[in-house]
Structure 1
Amino acid sequence: MSPYVASFIVFISIFLFGMATLRIGLKSLSNSRMQEFLYQASSTPLRGLMTGIIVTSILQSSSAVMVITIGLITAKVLTFRQSIGIILGTNIGTTVTAELMTLNPDQFTIPFLLVGFLLLQIRKQLLFSIGTVLFGLGSIFVAMHGLEAMAVPLSTLTFFEHIINESNSSLFYGIGVGTLLTALIQSSTATTGITMSFINQDLLTLPSAIAIIYGANIGTCITALIASFGSTKEAKLAAYAHVWINIIGVTLFFPFITKFGEIVAYVTALPDAQLAHVSLLFNVLSSLLLLPLTGVLAKTIEKIHKGNHLT
C-alpha cells in the first residue's frame, strides 16, 4: 500500500473520530431526550422540518436522526407521514458541520485540542461536554489539515488521478463518486471534508465538487436502509422516502450546479466556503420546495413500494 494512501486512511479515521466525539459532546449538552422531542414536535410537516433541523444540528448526523426516526416508527410512536418533514429537516441540519469546517484550522486546532483536553479532565458534566465538543472539533481540523496536505500527492497516483479527471469531466461521474464514497465510509460530512481538501488544492473544479456533494446526499441514505431491515412496513417506507427525497432533490437541482457556483462566488472567494455554502443552499431550497408536497410524496412512495417486500 502506498504511504500516501495509508496516510489518507489515517486522516479519514481521525476525521470520523472527531465527528463521533463532537456528536457525543453536543448530545450531552442538549440535555434532552431526542426520541421524545421527535415525537412531540412532528405533528405537522413544518414542525417536522424544524425538528429535523434542530436534532440533526445537535447530533451532527442525519443518519443518526434517521435511525432514531425509524426506531420510533417501528415502535408505532411516529407514523411514516410524520417522518417526511423530519427527513427534509435532517438534510438542512447536517450542513452545519460543513460550515464549521471552513473555519481556519491553523487558528483553532491547537486551542481547541488543548482546552478540550483540559476540560475532559474535569468531572463536572457541563465542562466535560464542552471539552468533548472542542476536542472533537480540534480532531476534525487536524484531519482537514492532513487531508489537504495529502491531496496533491494522492492526485499523482493513477487511481486517484483517474477519479479526479473523470469527476472534472463529468458531473454525473462526480455524483457517482460522492454516492459510493459516502455509502462506504457512512458519513456525508467526511465526504464533504475530503472534497474540500481537493478543491482547496485546485484539483477539483467547483462544479465537480458540488456534484460530489450531491452524490453524498444520496449515499448517506444507505444507513437508513440498513436500519429498516426487519422492521415494519412504515419504517421501510421512511427509509425509501429518505432515498427518494434526496434523489428528487439532486435531479431537480442538477441543472443549477453551475449557477449555484456563480452565486456563492459573489459571497466568498474561498473554495471550501463556496462548497459549504452551496451545500446549505441546495439542501434548504430542495427541502422548502418539497415541504408543501409531503402528502403527495407520501402517497407516491406508498404506491411505488406497495408490495409483499414491505411486510
Structure 2
Amino acid sequence: MFKLTTVREYFQIGTEVEFEDVHIDSDNRIYLDLHAVRLNQGPEPFRSQALESADTFLGELAAAVLSGDPVRVNRSSELLCNFREPWQTRMGMSHEGFRGHGGAQWTGGAVLDAMTTNAEALVRVGVLKHLEQLPLFVDGVGNDICSDLTARVIMDALLDFTECQMHIHSGLRIETEMTDIRTWDANFQRWKSRRLQLPAPGGHPLVLVPSGWARANPLMTARRFHGVAVLGHVQESEARIDPKTGRLMTISKEVLKKRSDLADIRDANIRVTLEALSHNKFLLKSFEAYLAEWFRMQDNVAA
C-alpha cells in the first residue's frame, strides 16, 4: 500500500511541532476553520494578524454592498474573483493530487450575489460580519470552498508563521524554493504579491498552518446552524402548553426538518434569523456561544 509522507517525515523533524503535520503529496481532508482560529488562544501574533485580514476583507465587501455604488460593488467582485486555490497548504478535497480544484470566479460570484440579494438584509443589520459565517447563508459555499477562501485571505499570517517555523526547524530549510504568492493587504485593503523562500518538498512550495487552525469538520456549517439555532428557535417559539396535562409540548426537530418552510436549509437560516432578530433574539450570537462552550469542553477533555 502506498504510504503518504507527512511534513515531519519528509524533512526528518524528530521533535513535536506547532503546525498541522499534513501529507505533502496529497490534499488532506481537513479544512482551515476561521472560527476555530477565533476560539484558539494563539499562536500570536499570527492569530491576530489572520483575524484582522479576514475581518477587513469581509468588511470591504459589506461596505460595498451597503454603499449601493455600482463601481464599488464591481471592485468587490474583482476582489472575490482574484483568489486562486491556495494549494500550498495541502488542505481541501481534491481528487487530483493537491492542485486539482478551485473555482474562484464562481465562488466570488456566488458570495457577492448572495450578499446583494438573499443575504443583503443580514449585511444591513450587521449580523453577517465574519468570513466564516458565509457558509451558513450562501449556497454552494461549503467546507472546501470556505477553507480555500480563508487560506487566501489570511495568507500573510500563514506565510509569516511558515517563516517562523523555518527558523525553529532547520530541516524545513534544506529544500526550498523562491515563491510568489498573492496575499490580502489588511492595511490598504487590496491584493498584493509577496515573494519569499518556502519549504518545497519535491519542488512544490509548502505553506504551514498552525495546529488547531484546521478541522476535519469545521465548526460553522449551514446544517449545524440550522439544527441547533434555527430549529431550536422554532421549537421554542411554537411550544404550547397542553391544556389537559399542563405540560409544555414542543415539536421534534425531526418533524420540523421535513416542514416545507424549513426544508431548504440556507433559505430557512436567513429567514428565521431575521424573524428572530425582529423579536430581539440573536440566533448567531447564541450559536457562537454554543460553539464556544463545546470547544472549551473539547479542550478540557484533551487536557
TM (norm. structure 2) is 0.30
**More helix, by proportion:** 1
